[in-house]
Amino acid sequence: MTQEVKVGVGAIIWRDGKVLLGKRKGSHGAGYYAPPGGRLHYMESFEDCVKREVLEETGIVVTGQLTMAGFSNNLFKEEDHHYVSVLMHAEHNTGEPQLLEPDKCEGWDWYDPMELPQPLFEPFKKATAHWK
């Protein structure tokens, strides 16, 4: 197996003071809550990756300004994965998220940032550690 570092990009989507999270399944991090996101494609910007992944996973079209929320170096030793994760903030104004990839997520819901569900996916947990 080729050892390589991959880049994951996630979108912390806000609406009415709450953040959109789904419970992961079918890949590393199964059973953990995380925002929509996925792997960065070759020659793709972080912003374009966020827009693509959010649309693919939730049907939400990200149109507002995206801002950097943080990044982390994540070593998933049990699964032999190494990711650098980039998280970006995005505002959401209309519509409800749809479950478009049921093999990857159990469902989407809005959560108060001070009462996040557990357990949190490690990259998101690192990015939100300063929220409390």
Three-state secondary structure readout of 19-55: EEEEEECCCCCCCCEECCEEECCCCCCHHHHHHHHHH
Q: Per the domain annotation, does 1 fall within a domain? A: no
Q: Per the domain annotation, does 79 fall within a domain? A: yes
Q: Per the domain annotation, does 103 fall within a domain? A: yes
Cβ proximity of 96 and 109 under 8 Å: no
Task: Count the domains in the chain.
Answer: 1
Q: Per the domain annotation, does 113 fall within a domain? A: yes
pLDDT of residue 27: 76
Q: Per the domain annotation, does 111 fall within a domain? A: yes
What is the identity of the amino acid at 86?
A: V
Rounded distance, CA 83 to CA 28, Å? 11
Q: Per the domain annotation, does 57 fall within a domain? A: yes
CATH for 117? 3.90.79.10
Give residue 46's domain range.
6-131
Q: How many other C-beta atoms lie within 10 A of the C-beta of residue 97?
A: 21
Cβ proximity of 122 and 74 under 8 Å: yes
- pLDDT tens for the 132 residues of the chain, in order: 568 999 999 999 999 999 999 999 987 789 999 999 999 999 999 999 999 999 999 999 998 889 999 999 999 888 888 999 999 999 876 778 999 999 999 999 999 999 999 999 999 998 888 776
Q: Per the domain annotation, does 125 fall within a domain? A: yes
